[in-house]
Amino acid sequence: AQSVTQLGSHVSVSEGALVLLRCNYSSSVPPYLFWYVQYPNQGLQLLLKYTSAATLVKGINGFEAEFKKSETSFHLTKPSAHMSDAAEYFCAAGGTSYGKLTFGQGTILTVHP
């Protein structure tokens, strides 16, 4: 069974600092990988997705993620954090069986002025 692990349930950064949110997946076959963002009291919004076309994936709001097969990782980064980035972020894997996804536990990002 597939599993997704997000290291760190809470990450705190200063405005303008690098954002790094970690995600590791377990699968013998590289799955499709996704990052979603959830703002308070809202549904999930797709940030970016990896579907084997390119290992470096660019998403919305300046975020990007790099797929590293050797490390089974798909970490999310943003060079400079903005106050509006404060939200909960979810990594997800799957999409090969009826489109089903397995989600990580989520990481709450706090951005300090």
Partner 1 sequence: DAGITQSPRHKVTETGTPVTLRCHQTENHRYMYWYRQDPGHGLRLIHYSYGVKDTDKGEVSDGYSVSRSKTEDFLLTLESATSSQTSVYFCAISDQTGGSYNEQFFGPGTRLTVL
Q: How far is the CB of 73 from partner 1 (least distance, A)?
A: 17
Using DSSP's 3-state secondary structure scheme, residue 100 falls into: coil
Nearer to partner 1, 17 or 30 (CB): 30
Q: Which residues of this chain interact with partner 1, rule CB under 8 A? A: 4, 6, 9, 32, 34, 36, 41-46, 49, 51, 90, 92, 95-96, 98-106
What distances in angstroms separate CA 4 from CA 72, 83, 105, one per listed residue? 10, 27, 8
β-bridge pairing 64-68 and 107-112: unpaired
Nearer to partner 1, 72 or 102 (CB): 102
